[in-house]
Amino acid sequence: MGFGGISIWQLLIVLLIVVMLFGTKKLKGLGGDLGSAVKGFKKAISSEEEQKPLQSDSSKQEKEPEDTQRKS
């Protein structure tokens, strides 16, 4: 038994049909495009996480002068 009742032989047959339909060059290009998209997504997520602390620090600095003005 394989994944969800699908045996390894059935998966191999499906893989063989996909390779026959699309060819190895198209599948290789598709894999490369998918890989670069995942890398770009990870890079965007990591840069977004780096910017969040900077934005919260700047908003705190903007609020501090307002608080000191109210006390005066």
Band of residue 51 on the pLDDT scale cut at 50, 70, 90: confident
Spatial separation of the C-alpha atoms in residues 69 and 66, rounded to whole Å: 5
Residue 27 CB coordination number (10 Å)? 14
Q: Identity (one letter) of the amino acid at 22?
A: F
Q: Rounded mean pLDDT of the chain?
A: 78
CB hemisphere CA count around 3 (13 angstroms): 5
Mean pLDDT of the region 12-30: 91
Let me know: does 31 contact 22? Beta carbons within 8 Å.
Answer: no
Band of residue 29 on the pLDDT scale cut at 50, 70, 90: very high
Would the pLDDT of 49 be above 70?
Answer: yes
Helices (H), 1-72: 8-22, 24-71
| pTM (2 d.p.) | 0.47
Q: Identity (one letter) of the amino acid at 18?
A: V
